[in-house]
Amino acid sequence: MLSFPTEGRHLRRLGILIAVILAGEFVFSLPFHTIRYFRPTFLDVFAISNTDLGDMFAAYGIVAMLAYFPGGALADRYSPRTLITASLAATALGGFYLATLPGTVGLVGVYAYWGMTTVFLLWGAMLRVTRLWGGDNSQGLAFGLLDGGRGIVAALAAGFAIVLLADSLPADVGTASMLERETGLRRIILAYSALTLVAAAIAWLMIPGERAEPRKEESPWQGMREVVGRPTLWAHAGVIICAYCAYKGLDSYSLYAVDVLGKNEVDAARLVRDGAWLRPIAALAAGLLADRYGGSWLIAAMFTLLAMSYGLLAFPGTATWLAVANLFVTMCLAFGLRGVYFAIMNENRTPARVTGATVGLVSFIGFTPEIFFAPITGRILDASPGAPGHYNYFQFLFVVASLGIVVTLTMIWLNSRGRERSNNSLTNEVS
């Protein structure tokens, strides 16, 4: 049975939280940070289009989608320390390969490989440890601390990576040669790979090594069969689809800063890095508000504000200062959604013993944007190069946020019906 230590309890709990935060962010730094913060440089160095990049992410998404089911079952049966450490080490190896600057086939291959290393081994184990860390009454706080802490790590690491890039390029960034850009990007990739290995060592030292549940007699698919019939689970997955699209939307912000706001690639990376500092504030605030007022209603409100902000970015003529302000607003809301969309498992009355199975199924459906979002948006951007493509991009995100409002209200209604049925059953039993 996975448990937290009693001796030096507070210090050890803090160590577990830090280890999970580092693992949860650095395992995704290689597949995602190199794109989110340095997209223009990445596209130039690898000589690929936004469409090509979208197809790379689709390869990642297909493998990840297939890994969520078995990964969730795995998390309910085996030591999270072993799973998380192995995930980080394997992901770092892929980074060392990426640093060789492979061709298009190699890029697709390493992203497909990362779909396995980041999801199959780590995802369910990380969320299970976080949920147990939060206990019965602090789910919003636990997940808010997880995502907020990840935001701090992401911002610090991105700041370091930006220094590496700026040091590799001349003062006039626009005159940089391709060799200088290659050198800068390679240094960034190697740095993220090394940090991922450090996170693996910390995870091994700090996370308890017990198995999740001593249930050898049960099939690993037993939990899946138990949760698949829950209507709220499917609505929960819909919430994550829309929220994750908002988060994936951040991947193109550095390109927007270059194409629409007229910034160079270093300043564009700095803008997105500055926005990343909002993540701990947004995630923790969302977590605390979710514990106090209910996560579902908070999510509905954030989707509403997100749709309004996308609406302002979706049309030409918006003043530069207002566009930048709304970029930060959408970042804040996307981070807040990430901070709480798994914290509503208690609202959906998910038993702790099937946390891994629930996470596996919800993630299998909820993270399908890994397959379709980048290919769709890459084609949107390439179909209308420059500013028009970005306006179309934000119109697409407006539609997604609007759907998020609808699906969240549906989940609230389903939970309300479930509570009514439970109360009626209890009344009948008492009678």
344-364: pLDDT as tens digits: 766 656 665 566 667 767 877
Lowest-pLDDT choice from 44-58, 261-275, 354-368, 405-419: 354-368
Answer yes or no: is 3 within a domain: no
Answer yes or no: is 96 within a domain: yes
pLDDT of amino acid 13: 81
Domain CATH number, residue 43: 1.20.1250.20
pLDDT of amino acid 345: 67
Answer yes or no: is 270 within a domain: yes
393, pLDDT greater than 60? yes
Q: With the C-alpha atoms ordered 63, 69, 70, 71, is the resulting torsion angle positive or negative?
A: positive
Name the residue with higher pLDDT: 98 or 146.
98
pLDDT of amino acid 214: 46
Lowest-pLDDT choice from 2-11, 74-83, 248-257, 415-424: 2-11
Distance set, CA 156 to CA 26, 51, 55, 220, 404 (Å): 11, 30, 29, 39, 31
d(Cα 215, Cα 202) in Å, to the nearest integer? 28
Answer yes or no: is 2 within a domain: no
Band (271; pLDDT cuts 50, 70, 90): very high
Name the residue with higher pLDDT: 135 or 376.
376
Answer yes or no: is 429 within a domain: no
Answer yes or no: is 271 within a domain: yes
Name the residue with higher pLDDT: 319 or 246.
246
Query: What are the percentages of helix, strand and coil residues in the chain, rounded to 5?
Result: 80, 0, 20
pLDDT winner (highest mean) among 16-25, 279-288, 293-302: 16-25
Range of the domain at 298: 9-213+221-423
Distance set, CA 236 to CA 16, 24, 232, 245, 414 (Å): 27, 21, 6, 14, 10
Residue 208 Rama label (left phi>0; alpha psi -120 to 50; beta): beta
Answer yes or no: is 227 within a domain: yes
Distance set, CA 253 to CA 38, 94, 178, 272, 394 (Å): 10, 25, 22, 7, 11
Structural domain count of the chain: 1
d(Cα 408, Cα 402) in Å, to the nearest integer? 10
The rounded mean pLDDT for the chain is: 84
Answer yes or no: is 322 within a domain: yes
d(Cα 60, Cα 172) in Å, to the nearest integer? 35
CA angle, residues 69, 71, 74, in degrees to nearest 5:
115
pLDDT of amino acid 353: 59
pLDDT over 70 percentage in the chain: 85
